[in-house]
Amino acid sequence: GQNIDQPTEMTATEGAIVQINCTYQTSGFNGLFWYQQHAGEAPTFLSYNVLDGLEEKGRFSSFLSRSKGYSYLLLKELQMKDSASYLCAVTADDYKLSFGAGTTVTVRA
Amino acid sequence: IAGITQAPTSQILAAGRRMTLRCTQDMRHNAMYWYRQDLGLGLRLIHYSNTAGTTGKGEVPDGYSVSRANTDDFPLTLASAVPSQTSVYFCASSDSTGGANVLTFGAGSRLTVL
Protein backbone atom coordinates (compact mmCIF):
# COMPACT_ATOMS: atom_id res chain seq x y z
CA GLY A 1 0.00 0.00 0.00
CA GLN A 2 0.88 3.65 0.05
CA ASN A 3 2.09 5.68 3.04
CA ILE A 4 1.16 9.34 2.67
CA ASP A 5 1.95 11.95 5.32
CA GLN A 6 0.80 15.53 5.56
CA PRO A 7 0.33 17.90 8.52
CA THR A 8 -3.01 17.77 10.27
CA GLU A 9 -3.64 21.49 10.61
CA MET A 10 -2.23 24.85 9.52
CA THR A 11 -3.33 28.39 10.25
CA ALA A 12 -2.47 31.47 8.23
CA THR A 13 -3.55 35.07 7.81
CA GLU A 14 -5.58 36.43 4.92
CA GLY A 15 -3.26 37.63 2.14
CA ALA A 16 -0.38 35.43 3.29
CA ILE A 17 1.20 32.34 1.73
CA VAL A 18 0.90 28.80 3.07
CA GLN A 19 2.82 25.72 1.98
CA ILE A 20 1.35 22.27 2.64
CA ASN A 21 3.89 19.47 2.48
CA CYS A 22 3.19 15.88 1.54
CA THR A 23 5.59 12.96 1.67
CA TYR A 24 4.80 9.55 0.30
CA GLN A 25 6.16 6.04 -0.01
CA THR A 26 4.60 3.94 -2.73
CA SER A 27 5.23 0.80 -4.75
CA GLY A 28 5.38 2.30 -8.20
CA PHE A 29 4.33 5.88 -8.93
CA ASN A 30 2.02 7.24 -11.60
CA GLY A 31 1.17 10.70 -10.36
CA LEU A 32 0.33 12.92 -7.41
CA PHE A 33 -2.89 14.85 -6.97
CA TRP A 34 -4.11 17.62 -4.70
CA TYR A 35 -7.79 17.99 -3.88
CA GLN A 36 -9.62 20.68 -1.92
CA GLN A 37 -12.50 19.80 0.37
CA HIS A 38 -14.65 22.37 2.14
CA ALA A 39 -16.38 21.22 5.31
CA GLY A 40 -19.39 19.05 4.53
CA GLU A 41 -18.72 19.03 0.80
CA ALA A 42 -17.16 16.78 -1.81
CA PRO A 43 -13.46 16.91 -2.66
CA THR A 44 -12.66 18.85 -5.85
CA PHE A 45 -9.57 18.48 -8.04
CA LEU A 46 -6.85 21.11 -7.76
CA SER A 47 -3.69 19.81 -9.43
CA TYR A 48 -1.80 16.87 -10.90
CA ASN A 49 1.95 16.31 -11.05
CA VAL A 50 3.70 13.37 -12.66
CA LEU A 51 7.05 14.96 -13.60
CA ASP A 52 9.44 16.76 -11.26
CA GLY A 53 8.91 20.47 -10.99
CA LEU A 54 6.37 23.16 -10.33
CA GLU A 55 2.88 23.40 -11.81
CA GLU A 56 1.23 26.80 -11.41
CA LYS A 57 -2.49 27.52 -11.61
CA GLY A 58 -3.35 31.03 -10.58
CA ARG A 59 -2.91 31.43 -6.82
CA PHE A 60 -2.20 27.71 -6.36
CA SER A 61 1.02 25.91 -7.28
CA SER A 62 2.06 22.30 -6.77
CA PHE A 63 5.59 20.93 -6.70
CA LEU A 64 6.86 17.37 -7.06
CA SER A 65 10.18 15.66 -6.41
CA ARG A 66 9.88 11.99 -7.33
CA SER A 67 13.34 11.10 -6.06
CA LYS A 68 12.49 12.49 -2.62
CA GLY A 69 8.89 11.25 -2.51
CA TYR A 70 7.84 14.81 -1.75
CA SER A 71 5.29 17.33 -2.91
CA TYR A 72 3.95 20.62 -1.69
CA LEU A 73 0.90 22.72 -2.45
CA LEU A 74 1.49 26.46 -2.28
CA LEU A 75 -1.45 28.77 -1.69
CA LYS A 76 -0.71 32.44 -2.34
CA GLU A 77 -2.70 35.59 -1.49
CA LEU A 78 -4.85 33.60 0.89
CA GLN A 79 -8.55 34.35 0.99
CA MET A 80 -11.12 33.37 3.59
CA LYS A 81 -12.71 30.99 1.09
CA ASP A 82 -9.45 29.01 1.03
CA SER A 83 -10.27 27.67 4.50
CA ALA A 84 -10.69 23.97 3.74
CA SER A 85 -9.00 20.59 3.92
CA TYR A 86 -6.34 19.85 1.31
CA LEU A 87 -5.89 16.22 0.37
CA CYS A 88 -2.71 14.78 -1.09
CA ALA A 89 -3.23 11.61 -3.14
CA VAL A 90 -0.92 9.34 -5.14
CA THR A 91 -1.48 6.73 -7.79
CA ALA A 92 0.69 3.63 -7.88
CA ASP A 93 0.93 0.83 -10.44
CA ASP A 94 -2.81 0.16 -10.37
CA TYR A 95 -3.68 3.84 -11.00
CA LYS A 96 -6.05 3.85 -8.01
CA LEU A 97 -5.86 6.97 -5.86
CA SER A 98 -4.67 6.60 -2.28
CA PHE A 99 -5.29 9.63 -0.11
CA GLY A 100 -3.50 11.15 2.84
CA ALA A 101 -5.56 12.14 5.89
CA GLY A 102 -5.72 15.76 4.74
CA THR A 103 -4.49 19.11 6.05
CA THR A 104 -7.07 21.53 7.45
CA VAL A 105 -6.14 25.11 6.62
CA THR A 106 -7.75 27.90 8.58
CA VAL A 107 -7.44 31.42 7.20
CA ARG A 108 -7.77 34.22 9.76
CA ALA A 109 -8.75 37.78 9.00
CA ILE B 1 -26.50 19.56 -14.23
CA ALA B 2 -23.85 16.99 -15.13
CA GLY B 3 -22.26 15.17 -12.26
CA ILE B 4 -22.77 12.47 -9.66
CA THR B 5 -25.90 12.00 -7.60
CA GLN B 6 -25.79 10.07 -4.34
CA ALA B 7 -28.73 8.95 -2.22
CA PRO B 8 -29.58 9.08 0.56
CA THR B 9 -27.82 12.20 1.81
CA SER B 10 -27.99 10.96 5.36
CA GLN B 11 -29.27 7.80 7.05
CA ILE B 12 -29.42 6.34 10.54
CA LEU B 13 -29.48 2.57 10.51
CA ALA B 14 -29.82 -0.16 13.12
CA ALA B 15 -27.00 -2.66 13.29
CA GLY B 16 -27.73 -5.81 11.34
CA ARG B 17 -29.89 -4.08 8.75
CA ARG B 18 -29.18 -4.16 5.04
CA MET B 19 -28.52 -0.85 3.31
CA THR B 20 -27.84 0.20 -0.27
CA LEU B 21 -26.26 3.53 -1.08
CA ARG B 22 -27.09 4.69 -4.57
CA CYS B 23 -24.78 6.44 -7.00
CA THR B 24 -25.61 7.66 -10.51
CA GLN B 25 -23.44 9.64 -12.92
CA ASP B 26 -24.43 11.29 -16.19
CA MET B 27 -20.96 12.02 -17.56
CA ARG B 28 -20.57 8.64 -19.28
CA HIS B 29 -17.40 8.00 -17.29
CA ASN B 30 -16.03 4.48 -17.56
CA ALA B 31 -14.63 4.16 -14.04
CA MET B 32 -16.48 4.51 -10.75
CA TYR B 33 -15.35 4.27 -7.14
CA TRP B 34 -16.65 4.12 -3.59
CA TYR B 35 -14.63 5.71 -0.79
CA ARG B 36 -15.32 6.10 2.90
CA GLN B 37 -14.01 9.08 4.82
CA ASP B 38 -13.30 8.91 8.53
CA LEU B 39 -11.74 11.56 10.75
CA GLY B 40 -7.97 11.21 10.86
CA LEU B 41 -7.91 8.46 8.25
CA GLY B 42 -8.78 10.27 5.06
CA LEU B 43 -10.51 8.72 2.09
CA ARG B 44 -10.14 4.96 1.76
CA LEU B 45 -11.14 3.01 -1.34
CA ILE B 46 -13.80 0.36 -0.75
CA HIS B 47 -14.57 -0.97 -4.25
CA TYR B 48 -14.12 0.22 -7.79
CA SER B 49 -15.26 -0.54 -11.33
CA ASN B 50 -13.11 0.20 -14.38
CA THR B 51 -15.99 -0.35 -16.77
CA ALA B 52 -19.57 -1.63 -16.80
CA GLY B 53 -19.71 -5.32 -15.91
CA THR B 54 -16.46 -5.36 -13.90
CA THR B 55 -15.69 -4.61 -10.26
CA GLY B 56 -12.64 -4.80 -8.02
CA LYS B 57 -11.75 -4.63 -4.35
CA GLY B 58 -10.09 -1.61 -2.83
CA GLU B 59 -8.31 -1.12 0.48
CA VAL B 60 -11.28 -1.79 2.80
CA PRO B 61 -13.81 -4.05 0.98
CA ASP B 62 -14.97 -6.29 3.83
CA GLY B 63 -18.66 -5.96 4.65
CA TYR B 64 -19.46 -4.20 1.38
CA SER B 65 -20.50 -5.31 -2.09
CA VAL B 66 -21.02 -3.48 -5.37
CA SER B 67 -22.45 -4.11 -8.81
CA ARG B 68 -22.04 -2.32 -12.14
CA ALA B 69 -24.87 -3.39 -14.42
CA ASN B 70 -24.54 -0.30 -16.64
CA THR B 71 -22.28 2.73 -17.13
CA ASP B 72 -24.31 5.15 -15.02
CA ASP B 73 -25.09 3.30 -11.78
CA PHE B 74 -22.80 1.95 -9.09
CA PRO B 75 -24.68 0.99 -5.90
CA LEU B 76 -22.88 0.05 -2.68
CA THR B 77 -24.55 -2.50 -0.40
CA LEU B 78 -23.93 -3.19 3.27
CA ALA B 79 -25.39 -6.67 3.77
CA SER B 80 -25.52 -6.47 7.58
CA ALA B 81 -24.45 -3.07 8.91
CA VAL B 82 -22.13 -2.77 11.91
CA PRO B 83 -21.27 0.36 13.96
CA SER B 84 -17.74 0.50 12.49
CA GLN B 85 -19.35 1.25 9.14
CA THR B 86 -20.50 4.62 10.46
CA SER B 87 -18.83 7.01 8.04
CA VAL B 88 -19.29 9.42 5.17
CA TYR B 89 -19.38 7.59 1.88
CA PHE B 90 -18.31 9.24 -1.36
CA CYS B 91 -18.95 7.92 -4.82
CA ALA B 92 -16.62 9.12 -7.58
CA SER B 93 -16.10 8.63 -11.29
CA SER B 94 -13.40 9.26 -13.88
CA ASP B 95 -13.21 8.97 -17.65
CA SER B 96 -9.80 7.33 -17.46
CA THR B 97 -8.31 4.45 -15.53
CA GLY B 98 -4.70 5.50 -16.09
CA GLY B 99 -2.47 8.53 -16.17
CA ALA B 100 -4.12 11.75 -15.01
CA ASN B 101 -7.03 9.89 -13.44
CA VAL B 102 -9.01 12.91 -12.18
CA LEU B 103 -11.92 11.93 -9.98
CA THR B 104 -15.26 13.73 -9.81
CA PHE B 105 -16.96 13.15 -6.46
CA GLY B 106 -20.58 13.06 -5.41
CA ALA B 107 -21.78 15.09 -2.43
CA GLY B 108 -21.51 12.14 -0.05
CA SER B 109 -23.84 9.98 2.04
CA ARG B 110 -23.52 10.20 5.81
CA LEU B 111 -24.34 6.85 7.40
CA THR B 112 -24.73 6.24 11.12
CA VAL B 113 -25.05 2.64 12.33
CA LEU B 114 -26.36 2.25 15.88
Structure letter (DSSP) for residue A84: E
- How high is the pLDDT of residue B1? 61
User: How far, in Å, CA of A105 to CA of B16, rounded?
Assistant: 38
> What one-character-per-residue DSSP string does B56-81 give?
EE-SS-TTEEE--SSSSB--EEESS-
Compute the distance between CA of residue A84 and CA of residue A101 in angstroms, rounded to an integer.
13
Under an 8 A CB cutoff, do B40 and A101 touch? yes
pLDDT along chain B (114 residues), means of 10: 91 97 96 94 94 95 97 97 98 84 95 98
| Cβ-based contacts of A96 with chain B (< 8 Å) | 33, 45, 48, 58
CA-nearest residue of chain B to A1? Answer: B59
Question: A99–B101: do the CB atoms touch at under 8 Å?
Answer: no
Question: Could you say which of A1, A87, A100 has the minimum Cβ distance to residue B59?
Answer: A1
pLDDT at A1: 53
* Percentage of the residues of chain B whose pLDDT score is greater than 70: 96
CB contact under 8 A, A48 and B100: yes
How far apart are alpha carbons A61 and A89 in whole angstroms? 15
Q: How far does the CA of residue B105 sit from the closest CA of chain A (Å)? A: 6
Contact state of A97 with B107 under an 8 Å Cβ cutoff? no
**pLDDT tens, position by position, for chain A (109 residues)?**
579 999 999 999 999 999 999 999 988 888 999 999 999 999 999 999 999 999 999 999 999 999 999 999 999 999 999 999 999 999 987 778 899 999 999 999 9
CA separation (Å) from A93 to A23, A66, B103? 18, 15, 17
Asked if residue B8 has a cis previous peptide bond (ω within 30° of 0), the answer is yes
Q: Are B91 and B105 in contact (CB under 8 A)?
A: yes
